[in-house]
Chain A
């Protein structure tokens, strides 16, 4: 269609595209290098089905929440309340079970509680025009406190029902080349969430509008995008997915624990940012946040295997987040 005009594209533009590709590929390359190094250094303990299962299972709830966070961050927003939602949804579900609600319904109530929190944040942001950072910071404290209050100071609510643990159990095991590979429920959920939201971001109006709002909210508005409605939906989705993560955590703990997930919002945000999400909006993918989350999980795992203390793991994690963003800024300057 435009072959005739292709010739007029100068070298500078193809260089920009090269940078774009390089940036998009970098988290993948980082993860590949990390896996390769660990495979060489600690093959006997690292390259085991048990080890991989544990790491990926633990990553699953971070990735599920990060998928929602990706959408919010791509739209130019932020949600600081997801760590508190992890706890709040678990507590909601646990209280419902205690009150006699069937476990599956209680789990859905937990997820719904997360979505409700997100919707309230979205309402504060779009209707009261409160900056997302502040609105969700308020949410972070409010629902953390609410969860602690209804559990009498944050006591864990243990749930004995086996169904409660289903979200952190193995769905089945499959035989591959004589090896028994477990298929955990949270990993299946994670894959479903990632595929669904990748599709939404790439192929639906909601996804297009999300990128458009994050890239230039005013241009999106003048193109007919109902930006406030879209933003409210995004925060609701982010809250709902955080609620699902919270229920997976609660299954892992066999309890609703009001003090769980403190600071986890930062892990989730870091996964998005390492995966190429830009806090100034308009950039980021669900696939990227998966890589970001796995990178951090395998890094922690590798440090444990190699014998690096937890304190130093934090220092390394901090350095990686900053490096990812520094790279992003550098690329921005180059792209002009």
Chain B
């Protein structure tokens, strides 16, 4: 791939990236969120098209305008989200759309299909019968089915996107065996990962992307975790965050030994009034689970949560809201807003018990509530009667925040509060968050983008596989240290030892 560039609106996702892949190698691609890893791979897989640049295959220019073009050229991708039909068998999934037929058109030759599927699975050392129903399989097995599907296309290039994110240690070991075997058979593998400790077990070369630019490609001999972390973080970490000084007061929320299955293990921390507590960690590290557990959306196995001295462990959302907790979920369209209802309706929804009498919702109080928040958060809308779905992303996100200001929530749990909004709206959202902390609210903020954490937080929790990898004061904290804790689980000194 030569000089690949891609813009999304005002964001330069990729800027002149060169990337080469040799036959029979495992090439690891690393980078922070938003560095451009996924975009680059989507362009290779035909899911997106580059604005400029070209792709050469065996030295010849290749046109990859759609995923099916990529398949024809022998490029297959296993995404984090599997593309399997759960109700069909393993063999049916592997051959979906290309079933071996008998003489009569339309009749599948099941024997040939199952035999071929069994051969493929055997090659992957996957002990699953071809006739097993996919949805009964575990995650690791489903992943192998996806890889088998890719091999059935006789793929020469296999792209694996965060393949170990949902696997256990043993399963990861098996996956690595499979990857090595495929490599030795001549398949080229692009391996995207956040987990830096993996690269030395599996990689041949490693490419670092940052802000849409290729920083370097290293051989295994040159690479070390320290070097990669420095390379990923870069220098220009200072971004403008309108952080206001706030009086940090009494602890408001106290969490002790919080455990949710395997997703959150024995987590303890305090959250103080006026404080912004940043939560960092990789995808799947338990960040969202923590937010949901604090709001009563997860079944808590062990541990306790206190709010201002009263226990709130496992209270359902309705009661959590009454107790003064507000949640801005990561998916604003799916979970945050009712898009075909008005702005007024959305803002007032959590506050209705407070502004209702026996005769129903007090209309004047409701209008006032909505109007106040629109003004306070500078939400751009034609009126409070505009539909939420008609607002821009940034204004929608402000609307989700407005719900909790209207409800006078004392504790704000923010899961990726600035995801998917433009730069201007981001700065405004952070100004609002900062103001709300200065007013004495306690804020817990999850973000995948470390400059946001470093710019906003007073203190940072780093999660690694559901556990607390570190609780760090903001003074002197570097992106490198957070990346290291989040991707290795231990500290710089420990891994060096």
Contact = CB atoms under 8 A, between A and B. Distances in A.
B361 A224 contact: no
A205 B341 contact: no
Interface string B402-425: 010000000000000000000000
Given A2-B375, A215-B339, A220 B349 contact: yes
A2 B336 contact: no
B462 interface: no
A8 B318 contact: no
A219 B380 CA distance: 22
Interface residues of A, number: 35
Interface string B363-402: 1000000010011001111111011011000000000000
24 contacts: A1-B384, A2-B379, A5-B378, A5-B382, A6-B383, A8-B380, A203-B359, A204-B361, A205-B352, A208-B348, A208-B349, A209-B352, A215-B338, A216-B337, A218-B335, A220-B349, A222-B336, A223-B317, A223-B321, A224-B317, A224-B320, A225-B349, A226-B316, A226-B318
Nearest to A212: B338
Given A5-B381, A205-B352, 9 more contacts: A1-B384, A8-B380, A16-B387, A203-B363, A207-B360, A215-B340, A219-B337, A223-B317, A224-B320
A33 B75 CA distance: 60
Q: Most chain-A CB neighbours within 10 Å: which of B337, B352, B356?
A: B352
Nearest to A206: B360
Contacts of A218: 334-335
User: 6 closest pairs, A vs B, by CB?
Assistant: A215-B338, A204-B360, A203-B360, A224-B321, A223-B349, A9-B382
Contacts of A13: 382, 386, 390
Nearest to B359: A203
Contacts of A226: 316, 318
A223 B332 CA distance: 12
Contacts of A6: 382-383
B242 to A, nearest CB: 20
Interface string B217-253: 0000000000000000000000000000000000000
A224 B348 CA distance: 11
B287 interface: no
Q: Most chain-B CB neighbours within 10 Å: which of A2, A223, A226?
A: A223
Contacts of B350: 223-224
Contacts of A209: 352
Contact of A219 (B338, B381, B390): B338
Contacts of A78: none
A219 B396 CA distance: 13
Given A222-B327, A223-B350, A282 B383 contact: no
B382 A216 contact: no
Interface string A221-252: 11111100000000000000000000000000
A212 B371 contact: no
A211 interface: yes
Nearest to B391: A13
Given A205-B361, A223-B350, A282 B338 contact: yes
A334 to B, nearest CB: 12
A14 B341 CA distance: 16
Contact of A2 (B316, B383, B387): B383
A330 interface: no
B441 interface: no
A216 B338 contact: yes
Given A13-B386, A223-B350, A208 B361 contact: yes
A72 interface: no
Interface in A174-217: 199-200, 203-205, 207-209, 211-212, 215-216
Contacts of B338: 211-212, 215-216, 219-220, 282
A221 B361 contact: no
Contacts of A16: 387, 390
Contact of B341 (A5, A199, A204, A282): A282
Contacts of A204: 356, 360-361
Interface string A268-307: 0000000000000011000000000000000000000000
Contact of B360 (A9, A199, A222, A223): A199
Interface of B is mostly: mixed
Given A1-B371, A225-B318, A225-B349, A211 B341 contact: yes
A207 B359 CA distance: 12
Contacts of B278: none
A1 B386 CA distance: 14
B295 interface: yes
Given A219-B337, A222-B295, A208 B386 contact: no
B341 A212 contact: yes
A222 B389 CA distance: 18
A33 B336 CA distance: 42
A281 to B, nearest CB: 9
B361 A203 contact: yes
A216 to B, nearest CB: 4
Nearest to B318: A224
A225 B341 CA distance: 15
B425 to A, nearest CB: 13
A204 B361 CA distance: 5
A149 to B, nearest CB: 38
A31 B457 CA distance: 60
Contact of B352 (A5, A208, A335): A208
Contacts of B348: 208
Contacts of B339: 215-216
B343 to A, nearest CB: 10
Interface in A1-19: 1-2, 5-6, 8-9, 13-14, 16-17
Interface string B303-328: 00000000000001110111000010
Given A211-B341, A218-B335, A220-B349, A2 B381 contact: yes
Contacts of A219: 334-338, 349
A212 B388 CA distance: 12
Contacts of A2: 371, 374-375, 379, 381-384
B361 A212 contact: no
A6 B380 CA distance: 8
Contacts of B380: 5, 8-9
Contacts of A205: 352-353, 356, 360-361
A73 B15 CA distance: 49
A1 B373 CA distance: 10
